[in-house]
Homo-oligomer: A and B are copies of this chain.
Amino acid sequence: MKARVTVTLKTGVLDPQGKAIEGALKSLGIDGVDSVRQGKVFDIELAGADKAAAEATLQAACEKLLANTVIENYRVEITG
């Protein structure tokens, strides 16, 4: 079973990396970009075919390792 976990910064948390990308895009002459926020994506393959078990595993993985839940949100999607 395949899944995608997306981890993004919560609203209000500063994102200096995103700001740096915004600046770099402007200096490359790419206009029209108002803001950039960077996050992480994890493409995960899981053993077994039980969707509920896979979701529980991924939620545990996010809470314990993949996301810092103080400053980040995460979303789990089973993709196939």
Contacts and interface: CB of A to CB of B under 8 A. Distances in A.
Interface of A: 6, 8, 18, 21, 24-25, 28, 30-48, 53-54, 57, 60-61, 64-66
What is the oligomeric copy number? 2
A24 B24 CA distance: 34
Contacts of A66: 21
B28 A54 contact: no
A61 B25 contact: yes
A57 B38 contact: no
A39 to B, nearest CB: 4
A8 B44 CA distance: 12
Given A24-B65, A32-B47, A65-B24, A39 B38 contact: no
